[in-house]
Amino acid sequence: MSVGDQIGARIREKRVQLRIRQSQLAKMVGVSPSYLNLIEHNRRRIGGKLLTDLAEALAIDIDLLSEDGKSSKVARLEEAAYYHKVETQAESARELATRFPAWSSFLIELDRNVRSLEAKIDALSDRLSHDPQLATSLHEVITTVTAIRATSSILSDSDDIDPMWQMRFQRNISEDSLRLAEEAQALVDYLDADETEARTGTPYEEVEAFLHENDYHFEMIETETPDIDDILNISAIRSTAGRLLARNVLETYQMDATALPLASLIDDLPIQMG
């Protein structure tokens, strides 16, 4: 039986699953029970509005009933199975999506989350290998934690420590704890800054957004000689590369404005600007 010949069978299976009588479903979609019976036994081909009405009445994705190939949900289930090296039988993904749509959506979302986490782990692993600052920060945190743990073990495992040494160990723990807090905060700030840069897009996109926001015109530069940093500091550009690119653009703009002031240009135009 081909995929197209299974439409009626899928309609019947879903109707039985929902415990809807054939006469009830026929009334819901505006056809006779006998005609619906022919459809369910694959003796009548359907499409268009009737197929849409049946899908709505059965609360099922129309792609799972139609004969226009695999639905996106079925394709994504098969892709997930292939990615995770799960051996499946032919049409098993379609059967799962048809009979258990909620479970299918859950599995698809789970697959998406797993892949996203794997990508983040790969990115972090790559950063640990190529980002000296991150590697150094993590090393400092781990070293400090190890020192605190070692000192704590000495205090907890020894009952006859000299009071003077005990005070030294306690002072060491206090100092190491403060250093750990500072190192951890520095690491968090570094990661937060990096995440902020990632959200803003590439440096070129930052500069493009900055120029577009100002309509490619900076009246402050036209009328006075401002400090470029003052303009950059009130902009939304956060990445170092983005600020460097924007600075080059603004410095060029400033030189052009000095060589050819906008007011003089407007006065010399044959057409008055209004």
Same fold, 1-69 and 131-199: no
pLDDT at 82: 84
Tell me the pLDDT tens digit for each residue of 249-270.
Answer: 888 888 888 887 777 666 666 5
Tell me the pLDDT tens digit for each residue of 71-128.
Answer: 667 778 888 888 888 887 767 887 887 788 888 888 988 988 888 888 778 777 776 7
Tell me the pLDDT tens digit for each residue of 10-46.
Answer: 888 888 888 889 999 999 999 998 899 888 888 887 8
pLDDT at 99: 80
Domain ranges (residues) in the chain: 1-69, 70-116, 131-199, 203-268
Ramachandran class of 152: left when φ > 0, alpha when ψ lies in -120 to 50, beta otherwise: alpha
| pTM of the entire predicted model | 0.35
Instruction: Summarize the confidence of residues 173-200 as an average pLDDT.
Output: 75
> Does residue 51 or residue 266 have the better pLDDT?
51
Distance (Å, rounded) from C-alpha 183 to C-alpha 146?
Answer: 14
Question: Would you say residue 69 has pLDDT above 50?
Answer: no
Distance (Å, rounded) from C-alpha 255 to C-alpha 221?
Answer: 10
> Does residue 160 or residue 61 have the better pLDDT?
160
Distances in whole angstroms, Cα of residue 123 to Cα of each of 46, 120, 128, 129, 201: 49, 5, 9, 10, 17
Question: Would you say residue 274 has pLDDT above 50?
Answer: no
Tell me the pLDDT tens digit for each residue of 152-161.
Answer: 888 888 778 8
Question: Which CATH code is given to the segment(s) 1-69?
Answer: 1.10.260.40
Domain 131-199 class, CATH top level: mainly alpha
Burial of 181 (0-12, 13-18, 19+ CB in 10 A): exposed
